[in-house]
Amino acid sequence: MDELSQKLNKYFAGRVVRKDLTKKIKEGANVPVYVLEYLLGMYCATDDEDSINDGVEQVKKILADNFVRPDEAEKVKSKIKELGKYTVIDMVTAKLNEKRDCYEAEFSNLGIKGVEISSSYIKQYDKLLSGGIWCILKMNYHYDEELRGVVSPFIIDSLTPIQMPHLELDEILEGRKNFTKDEWIDVLMRSIGMEPTQLKEKVKWHLLARMIPLVENNYNVCELGPRGTGKSHLYKEISPNSILVSGGQTTVANLFYNMARKEVGLVGLWDVVAFDEVAGIKFKDNDGIQIMKDYMASGSFARGREEKSASASMVFIGNINQSVDVLLKTSHLFEPFPEAMANDSAFFDRMHCYIPGWEIPKMRPEYFTDEYGLITDYLSEFMREMRKRSFTDAFDKYFKFGNNLNQRDVIAVRKTVSGLVKLIYPNGEYEKGDIEEILRYALIGRRRVKEQLKKIGGMEFYDVHFSYIDNETLEEQFVSVPEQGGGKIIPEGIGKPGHIYTISRGKSGMIGVYKLETQVVSGSGKFERTGLGSDREAKEACDTAFRYFKANSKNISGSISTTSKDFLMHVQDINGIGLTSELALSAFVALCSASLGKPCQSQMAVLGSMSIGGTINKVEELANVLQVCLDSGAKKILLPLSSAPDIGTVPPELFSKFQISFYQSPEDAVFKALGVE
C-alpha cells in the first residue's frame, strides 16, 4: 500500500475501497459501481489480504443471492410469498400517500408499488423521497382478505441503504486539510478509477474538468476527441446523479417539460444530462434547439404558460474523425455537431468550456488504478453537496479580467473557476498561485470556444486575446490556446527579396494567408509559376501581374530588365483553404521586389488586387481580413486607398494594432511595400 493509500485509510476510514476489487466484480455483475463499492467498503475495508478475499466472496454471494434482476422479478416475488421472508437488493423510492396518511415504497427492479414503509426510515434517509436509494431489504409477506386491494401484502421488515443515505460534508472538509494539492488531485483521480502516477499533469486537469458539471449548477461543457478516451465513463458509471442520453434523438417533453403530464423532464431530475455522440443529436420538435439555447443561457425555459427553472448541467461528448490540425485548417473544432447546430454561433457561445479530448490518452489497463480511492458514492454525494456552494468570486481578491472578455466569457470563466475550486479546495483554503493556475485553465477552456466562434461567426467574436491582471502589480498576463500554436505565420525581421505575404478570401470561402516567393535568374524573359495546380483564376491573376510588370517596369526603375531575365514564382496556400483569385497586385509587388533585390518591409501584409489596366480593387470584408492579419502576425498593412471608407467597420482596438500605409496605384504600392520614398 503506497503512502497516499495509507493516508486515505487513516483520515477516511470506512469511506475508501480498493479499486481493483471493483474492477474484478464489476466485470461479472451488472450492478452500478456505487452499489458495488458500498458493499466492498462494508466487507473489505481492511489491508489484510485474507480478510479481503473473504469479503470479496461475501459480496459476490450477496449479489448472486439477493440482487433482483428485472427478468427474475416474478421468481423473487414467489420466493417472498412461499418462504414468508426473503432478503432483496433493489432501488427503492418512497412517496407520501396523503389519502391513507402513510408513506409507500416502490421497488424499481421488483416492480411492486404501494408497499407501506415506516416513517422512521423516511426521517433517517430522506433521499428515499428524492430520487430513491439502493437498499438491502428483509421482506415479509402477509395477505389480509379484508384489506385486499388497499394494502400491499408485501411488508418491509428492515431496510439498510447501500448508498450513502446522507453525507457529513464537514468530514470531507476536515479530511481535505491533511492532503497537499497534488495529493488531493491524485485522491480524486483514484476515486474515479484512474491511476495518477501514469497520467501527465495536463491530463489530470482535463479529467478534473470533466467533473465540473457534477459540482457546478447549469454548467455547459463540450468534449470532442478520439474514441476510447473514456469520455462518457464518468457520467455513466461513477455518479448516480447523472444520466447519459445515448443515440442522440430526444424530445422537448423528455428533456425539459411534458405538458400533457405536467412533469419536468431530465433537466429537472438529474444533476447532469450528458449527450453521447453529439453528431446524432436531433430533436423531433423544431423548437428543441431554441429551448435548449434558452436553457443553457439562463437555466430556465418556458413551456406553455409558465417558466420553469432547473439546475442540470449540459455535457456534449463526441468523436473527432480527423486530426486536430486538419480540422483547424479546413473548418472548426465544433464541426462534429449536427447540421442544425454546427454553424450556430449563438449555441456554441453558451459553452463555458471546451475540453480538448485529443490531449487525453486512449485508455489502457495501466491507466486504471489498483490502489485505494474514495467510494464513488461518497464522492458523488460530496459533489452533489458542493453544488449548493459557490466560489465564483474566488479570484477577485488577487486578479481581474483583461478588456477582451465580454459578459458571457466572464460568466463562463467564473463558473469553471468555481467548479475547480470546489473540487480541489472545497474548504476554500488556497493561495494566490493556486487560484492563478485554476484561472489560467478556465481562460484557456473558454478561449478555445471563442476561437472557434471567430471562425464560425467572423468579426462579431474578434476579441479572443484573453488576459488577466494582477491586482497588486497591475501586470497583464495573456493566455494562448495550445493547438492554435504561436501561430505567427508572418515572421519577424526582414525577409528575402521577392517574398510577399497577402491575405484574402480563398476558394472555400474562408480567409487565408498566401505567400509568394519569387526568383529572378538570367534568361530570355520567361515567366514560370508553380503551386497553383489547376486553379484557372489564380493562374490568370499571376499572368495579369507579369503582363503589367513587363509593360510598366520602367516606371519603377530603369535598372529592371524583363528580356534578359527569367522569373520564377511559387504561390503557397499556408492555411490549406484553397487558392485565391486576388493575387495580381501582390504578385506585381513580388516581381518588382525580386528584380530590384530589395526585400519587403518586416511583418507586412499586402492587401488588395488589380486589373490588367492597373485599376485597384478595394478589400472586401475589411474587418475580417484585418483580424486574420493580426492572428497571422502582421504588424504593417498595405491597403488600397479605395478601402479607406470601410475603416469605420473595423473595431478601433483592432485597427490600432497596425501601421497602415495607403496606396493609389500599383507603382505606389511597390514603393511603399519596399520602403522607398
Mean model confidence pLDDT for the chain: 87
Average pLDDT over residues 620-638: 88
Count of beta carbons in the 10 Å neighbourhood of residue 616: 19
Average pLDDT over residues 373-397: 89
Read off the pLDDT of residues 264-296 as tens digits, 9 standing for 90 and up: 888 888 889 998 888 778 777 777 888 888 889
Query: What is the pTM for the complete model shown?
Result: 0.74
Confidence tier at 609 by pLDDT (50, 70, 90): very high
What is the predicted pLDDT for the residue at 205? 95
CA end-to-end distance (rounded Å), the chain: 77
Specify whether the CB–CB gap between 462 and 391 falls below 8 A.
no
Q: Name, of 116-130, 334-348, 631-645, the range with top average pLDDT.
A: 631-645
Burial of 9 (0-12, 13-18, 19+ CB in 10 A): middle
Distance CA 138, CA 279 (A): 46
Average pLDDT over residues 597-622: 92
Read off the pLDDT of residues 530-586 as tens digits, 9 standing for 90 and up: 999 888 999 999 999 999 999 998 988 888 888 899 999 999 988 777 899 999 999
Distance CA 69, CA 371 (A): 30
Average pLDDT over residues 649-676: 91
What is the predicted pLDDT for the residue at 571? 94
Distance CA 483, CA 356 (A): 9
Read off the pLDDT of residues 229-269 as tens digits, 9 standing for 90 and up: 888 888 887 787 888 887 667 788 888 887 877 778 888 88
What is the predicted pLDDT for the residue at 27? 65
* DSSP designation for 235: I
Question: 3-state secondary structure string, 495-521?
Answer: CCCCEEEEEEECCCCCEEEEEEEEEEE
Specify whether the CB–CB gap between 53 and 18 falls below 8 A.
no
The sign of the dihedral angle between the CA atoms of 500, 502, 507, 512 is positive
Sequential DSSP letters for 22-58: HHHHHTT--S-HHHHHHHHHHH--SS-HHHHHHHHHH
Distance from chain centroid for Cα 538: 39
The sign of the dihedral angle between the CA atoms of 327, 330, 331, 332 is positive
Distance from chain centroid for Cα 13: 35
Read off the pLDDT of residues 30-58 as tens digits, 9 standing for 90 and up: 677 777 887 787 777 666 788 888 888 88
Average pLDDT over residues 134-158: 85
What is the predicted pLDDT for the residue at 486? 45
Closest to 283 in 3D by CA, of 245, 248, 258: 248
Distance CA 654, CA 590 (A): 27
Count of beta carbons in the 10 Å neighbourhood of residue 93: 17
Residue 514 has pLDDT above 70, yes or no: yes
Instruction: For residue 492, give the amino acid letter.
Output: E
Residue 227 has pLDDT above 50, yes or no: yes
Read off the pLDDT of residues 198-211 as tens digits, 9 standing for 90 and up: 999 999 999 999 99
677's grid cell? 520614398
Residue 498 has pLDDT above 50, yes or no: yes
Count of beta carbons in the 10 Å neighbourhood of residue 554: 11
What is the predicted pLDDT for the residue at 103? 92
What is the predicted pLDDT for the residue at 78? 92
Angle at 134 between CA 109 and CA 214, to 5 degrees: 115
Distance CA 582, CA 654 (A): 23
Q: Which residues have C-beta within 8 Å of that of residue 438, sequence separation ≥ 6? A: 394, 395, 416, 417, 420, 421, 424
Instruction: For residue 192, give the amino acid letter.
Output: I
What is the predicted pLDDT for the residue at 416? 95
Closest to 221 in 3D by CA, of 356, 322, 311, 332: 356
- In 3-state terms, the chain is what percent helix, strand and coil (to 5)? 40, 20, 35
Instruction: For residue 495, give the amino acid letter.
Output: G
pLDDT: which is higher, 589 or 576 = 589
Closest to 551 in 3D by CA, of 536, 562, 541: 562
What is the predicted pLDDT for the residue at 315? 92
pLDDT: which is higher, 14 or 596 = 596
Specify whether the CB–CB gap between 252 and 285 falls below 8 A.
yes
Residue 468 has pLDDT above 90, yes or no: yes
Residue 330 has pLDDT above 80, yes or no: no
- Residue ranges of the alpha helices (H) in 261-399? 266-269, 288-298, 324-330, 339-342, 345-348, 376-386
Q: Which residues have C-beta within 8 Å of that of residue 606, sequence separation ≥ 6? A: 500, 501, 502, 585, 586, 589, 600, 638, 669, 673
Which has the minimum average pLDDT: 86-90, 167-171, 433-437? Answer: 167-171
C-alpha distances (whole Å) from 208 to each of 248, 355, 409 are 25, 10, 20
pLDDT: which is higher, 635 or 240 = 635
Residue with cell 516567393: 517
Q: Residues in the chain, how many?
A: 677
Specify whether the CB–CB gap between 48 and 176 falls below 8 A.
no
Read off the pLDDT of residues 419-460 as tens digits, 9 standing for 90 and up: 999 999 998 899 999 999 999 999 999 999 998 888 777 667
Specify whether the CB–CB gap between 640 and 574 falls below 8 A.
no
pLDDT: which is higher, 359 or 252 = 359
Distance CA 256, CA 434 (A): 38
Distance CA 553, CA 21 (A): 82
Largest CA distance in the chain: 119
Burial of 543 (0-12, 13-18, 19+ CB in 10 A): middle
Average pLDDT over residues 322-341: 78
What is the predicted pLDDT for the residue at 166? 66
Average pLDDT over residues 91-107: 91
Specify whether the CB–CB gap between 601 and 607 falls below 8 A.
no
Specify whether the CB–CB gap between 535 and 571 falls below 8 A.
no
Instruction: For residue 92, give the amino acid letter.
Output: V
Radius of gyration of the chain (CA): 33
* DSSP designation for 194: B
What phi and psi values does residue 527 have, to the nearest 5 degrees? -130, 120
Q: Name, of 10-14, 507-511, 528-532, the range with top average pLDDT.
A: 528-532
What is the predicted pLDDT for the residue at 378? 85
C-alpha distances (whole Å) from 56 to each of 20, 37, 254, 371, 670 are 11, 11, 40, 16, 82
